[in-house]
Structure 1
């Protein structure tokens, strides 16, 4: 067991010494290799999207376990939970009026558990809520998402309001984790359950991104046409990629911490 740990330490130390451009290149190459692997082992790529929603639900379940076991919400961002509930509620509405399927059921379950987490933070465990650390202004993400949704949305046959709502939830989901990252940036120390939750979000975002990229490749670009015309198809892919890269740096340090046998994740300056 020591040999793998030593190898991981050597590799992580080498990566840490590289300039930002090399790190970015390595991240892109790693992502591409992961996509190739997923394409080879997952035949129905729609299962990746279901898996992404399932992993998100698992992440929420980890939070529930933390709140029930430790009776504290320290280190959690109420604003991220509220943004999550917001985009899930909008996406659930769009799912009901546009395409009722398995995603509707998963979103409903995730919204219910997210609402419970919000209730616990706001009322039951309010005394442990780190409000001074959770200082990311929500309008910094909500307002730009609204403006983008008004300007760039699907050109399908659905009602204009539904198309704008659909675009809004896609954009908001991409940046909903930013307040949680600000909390971790302010504290620098991330306790295990919060780290597991954010890592689950990172995995979910990667699987969702992989689903869209592989679907585009398999359809030879026809999926983009099916999504509509103009800038909207590109914005869907960009949103998925943004979500993935927002959490990529944290996921790297999470894996490094896990393989190093550390229970508490300590983030260096500049991360998230």
Structure 2
């Protein structure tokens, strides 16, 4: 998305008033408009033809946003033939957490959206995201490994995987009524809350101007988490099930899920501020070295 940052509100409003400027605006940003327009079209199509209109559709929408971010990232990395600025450790974390979530939702329905999209659309988006993650890891370890910033991507993935798994073993909901499936889903959720930290650490060390495809990818994951947080704010009490629970503190599991969502949003708060500011001003995203 080399010219995405030209899509700011001021230039857009000015272009509408002048037909020639508007035509030039469309020409300069046709790729970005096509990408985002396609995403909006798919979202509306899914909602109209596959959704039952239940509030839990927001979970499917969250997954769609995440998938969209990963698909764009795969495309941009392939086009640029570089993974510079991307954290391999973050990709490994996402690989593990999505695989763990798939292990739970592909066989059981306890954590699927109540909306009709939970029957297969939600699962399909999770599978696509997982495939994209595998492709990105292949790019990182094999195809474009020469462009990998190994010197600044030093926050190792296992710093988060092991603690998240141990926490999931001890504190997890029981909607699947299967210990391993409940732990798998919770492990994925806990790990995803910290998965972006290595990427943000790379931003902090690198500082300066951030590659557009990387910034859009991080922003899409943050937006996805915000949507999930909105859902769990209204639904977390359903996780506090004490009957047939194998968890410690079963009456407070929902609060741990909320805290996990808050952690990721808090971690990316500074980044999201600078990201939105860059779009408004129509300039490349530039981060001070202290932002993590």
Q: What is the TM-score of this pair, normalised by structure 1?
A: 0.78
| Equivalent in 260, 281, 290 of residue 260 of structure 1 | 281
Say if 2:86 is the partner of 1:76: yes
Conserved in 2, the CA contact under 8 Å of 1:60 and 1:114? Answer: yes
Q: Which residue of 1 aligns with 2:251?
A: 230
Conserved in 1, the CA contact under 8 Å of 2:173 and 2:241? Answer: no
Q: Which has more helix, going by share of residues?
A: 1
Q: Which residue of 2 aligns with 1:49?
A: 59
Q: Which residue of 2 aligns with 1:271?
A: 291
| Equivalent in 159, 162, 165 of residue 146 of structure 1 | 165
Conserved in 1, the CA contact under 8 Å of 2:95 and 2:133? Answer: yes
Q: Which residue of 2 aligns with 1:18?
A: none
Structure 1 residue 269: Cα displacement: 3.5
Conserved in 1, the CA contact under 8 Å of 2:108 and 2:176? Answer: no
For the residue of structure 2 that corresponds to 1:108, the secondary structure is: helix
Say if 2:108 is the partner of 1:87: no
For the residue of structure 2 that corresponds to 1:198, the secondary structure is: helix
Q: How many residues align?
A: 228
After TM superposition, the structure 1 = structure 2 runs for residues 15-54 of structure 1, keeping only pairs within 5 Å, are 44-54=54-64
Residues of 2 paired with 1:82 and 1:163: CA distance?
21
Structure 1 residue 178: Cα displacement: 0.8
Residues of 1 paired with 2:219 and 2:176: CA distance?
37
Conserved in 1, the CA contact under 8 Å of 2:175 and 2:239? Answer: no
Q: Which residue of 1 aligns with 2:261?
A: 240
Q: Which residue of 1 aligns with 2:227?
A: 207
Residues of 2 paired with 1:111 and 1:66: CA distance?
17
Q: What is the TM-score of this pair, normalised by structure 2?
A: 0.73
Cα deviations by residue, 1:9-29 (Å, 9 ceiling, x for unpaired): xxxxxxxxxxxxxxxxxxxxx
After TM superposition, the structure 1 = structure 2 runs for residues 149-228 of structure 1, keeping only pairs within 5 Å, are 149-156=168-175, 158-189=177-208, 190-215=210-235, 221=237, 223-225=238-240
Say if 2:76 is the partner of 1:66: yes
Question: Could you say if the C-alpha distance between residues 157 and 196 of structure 1 is closer, same or farther in structure 2, counting changes exceeding 3 Å?
Answer: closer
Conserved in 2, the CA contact under 8 Å of 1:59 and 1:201? Answer: yes
| Equivalent in 87, 104, 110 of residue 129 of structure 2 | 110
Q: Which residue of 1 aligns with 2:50?
A: none
Conserved in 2, the CA contact under 8 Å of 1:45 and 1:214? Answer: no
Any gaps of 5 or more consecutive residues in structure 2? Answer: 1-9, 14-52, 113-118
For the residue of structure 1 that corresponds to 2:268, the secondary structure is: helix
Cα deviations by residue, 1:27-50 (Å, 9 ceiling, x for unpaired): xxxxxxxxxxxxxxxx73212111
Question: Could you say if the C-alpha distance between residues 157 and 66 of structure 1 is closer, same or farther in structure 2, counting changes exceeding 3 Å?
Answer: closer
Residues of 2 paired with 1:82 and 1:93: CA distance?
17
Conserved in 2, the CA contact under 8 Å of 1:195 and 1:254? Answer: yes
Structure 1 residue 224: Cα displacement: 4.1
For the residue of structure 2 that corresponds to 1:98, the secondary structure is: coil
Q: Which residue of 2 aligns with 1:39?
A: none
Any gaps of 5 or more consecutive residues in structure 1? Answer: 5-42
Q: Which residue of 1 aligns with 2:148?
A: 129
